[in-house]
Structure 1
Amino acid sequence: MTVQQFTDALTHHFPQLREDLRPGVRPAGLAEAERHLGQPLPPAVRDTYLACDGQLDVVPGVLLGLRWLPLDDVVREYATWLDLAGEDTGLDSRPPGAVRPVTFSPGWLPFASDGGGNGLAVDLQPGPAGTAGQVITFGPDETTRLVLASSLPAFLGWVADQIEAGRVTVEGNDVRLNGATSFLDAARTLV
C-alpha cells in the first residue's frame, strides 16, 4: 500500500479533501525532523512523508476526521507529549500486550490529531505482542490503545478502502466513517 492509493481515493470521491493535502516534504526536511526527534524515521514513514506532508488546514481532517499532521507538527507534538511520558498501569491495549502501557513513549510518532489531545501514532517501541511500525491510538481519552494497522502505508490503504467502499461521508467540515461522529470512537468497535 502507498500514499498514492489514499490520494487517488480522495481525488475520485472527495476532491475537496484532496486539495488540502500538502506536497511531499523535501529530504532536508526529513533530516531536520529526524534530528529533532533524535531517531531515524522508518522507511515507510519516510516514504509516506516524501509523497505527502500531511494536510494544510485543521478541518476537515482528511484521515476520517482526524488532521494528518505535517512533519513539522509531528515534531512539535512529539516534544509536547514527551514531557508527559511515563508508566500508567490503568492502560491496556487491543490486542493484549501489543502496546506498552504508557501515557506516551519516546518511540511513538504522532501523525494524526483530533484537536483535543487524542490521535494516532506510529509505534516504534511496541509491547511484546506488537510489531514495530504499527499504527496505534493514544491520548487522554484512549485508555485502551488500539492497533489499527501494521504500518502507516497499511493504515492509509485501509482508509482508502473505506472511502472506496462508500463507508465515508463528508458534509462541510464533518467527515464520518459509518456515520460515527468520531473516528476514534468508531475505532473501538472496529478492532
Structure 2
Amino acid sequence: MSVQESFSRIESWLSKNAPNVLHQLNKPISSMDELDKAEAILGAKFPPSVREAYTYHDGESTESTGLFGGWRWLPLREIIQWNNEQKQYGQKHQFLDFKPSLMIPLLVSNNDFRYVETSGDDGLEETPVIEWNHEQPSRDVKYGSFENYLSTFAERLEFGEYITDANDQQNTCGLALRK
C-alpha cells in the first residue's frame, strides 16, 4: 500500500474513531524545499517514503502522546534539534566516529526511538525502520521501510488493535494498543 493510501486510511479511521488525535497531526511541510533544507542541515537523505510522508503531515504536535500507539512522530524541526544535540554530545565527549546524520529519528516514546538510516546519495533507497531501546541498547529492525510501517499501522487500526489513550474522546491525545 502506498504512503498516500495509508494516510487516507489512517485519516479516515481517525476522523471516525479519534478526531482529537487527528487534530494532533501537524500540517504538511510548506514545500519540497523545506525537506531539501532539512536534508542539507542533517547531511542526510530521507528515504523516499519518509519524504512523501512529510508532504501529508509534518509529524505530530508536542501535546500528542503518540498516534502510533505511544510513539510520537517528530516534526522536521525536532529531528534537526535532536541531530544538533547528538553532535554537541559527541563533540563534548570526543566521539570522533559518531555520526548522528546516519540515523534519522522519526518516532519517540519516552527515551526510545524508531529511526531510519540515511538513504543513498541519490535519495532513492528505502531503509528499514529500526527501534532503539534506551534501557537495553539494541538495534531492532521493525519494518522494511516507513511505507511498510504506515501500511501495517493502517491495517492494524482497521482491525481494531488500537484504542484512544483516554476514556474521554475530547481529552485523548494519542492511541494505545488494545490490551
| TM-score (norm. length: structure 1) | 0.71
In 1, Cα distance between equivalents of 2:52 and 2:9? 14
1:109 matches 2:81? no
- The answer to which structure has the higher strand fraction is 1
Alignment check: 8 A CA contact 2:25 2:58 kept:
yes
Partner of residue 160, structure 2: 166
Q: Give the AA of the match of 1:33.
A: A
Deviation string 1:127-159 (CA, Å, 9 cap, x unpaired) is xxxx95100111422423221111112111111
Alignment check: 8 A CA contact 1:84 1:103 kept:
no
Alignment CA distance shift 1:165-1:153 (3 Å): same
Deviation string 1:43-73 (CA, Å, 9 cap, x unpaired) is 2111111121111233321111111111111
Partner of residue 155, structure 1: 149
1:119 matches 2:123? no
Query: Deviating runs (4+, > 4 A) in structure 1?
Result: 82-85, 102-105
If asked which structure has higher relative contact order (CA below 8 Å, sep 6+), I would say 2
Q: Out of 130, 138, 143, which is 2:132 matched to?
A: 138
Alignment CA distance shift 1:120-1:166 (3 Å): same
Alignment check: 8 A CA contact 1:107 1:123 kept:
yes
User: Structure 2 stretches of 5 or more lacking a match?
Assistant: 91-96, 120-124, 167-171
Q: Show the 5 A alignment for 1:35-50.
A: 35-50=40-55
Alignment CA distance shift 1:160-1:144 (3 Å): same
Matched positions, count:
157
Partner of residue 99, structure 1: none
Rg larger in 1 or in 2?
Answer: 2
CA drift of 1:38 comes to 0.9
Partner of residue 175, structure 2: 175
Q: Out of 10, 13, 17, which is 1:13 matched to?
A: 17
SS of the equivalent of 1:143 reads: coil
Alignment check: 8 A CA contact 2:102 2:117 kept:
yes
| TM-score (norm. length: structure 2) | 0.75
Alignment CA distance shift 1:11-1:104 (3 Å): farther
Alignment check: 8 A CA contact 1:37 1:75 kept:
yes
Partner of residue 57, structure 1: 62
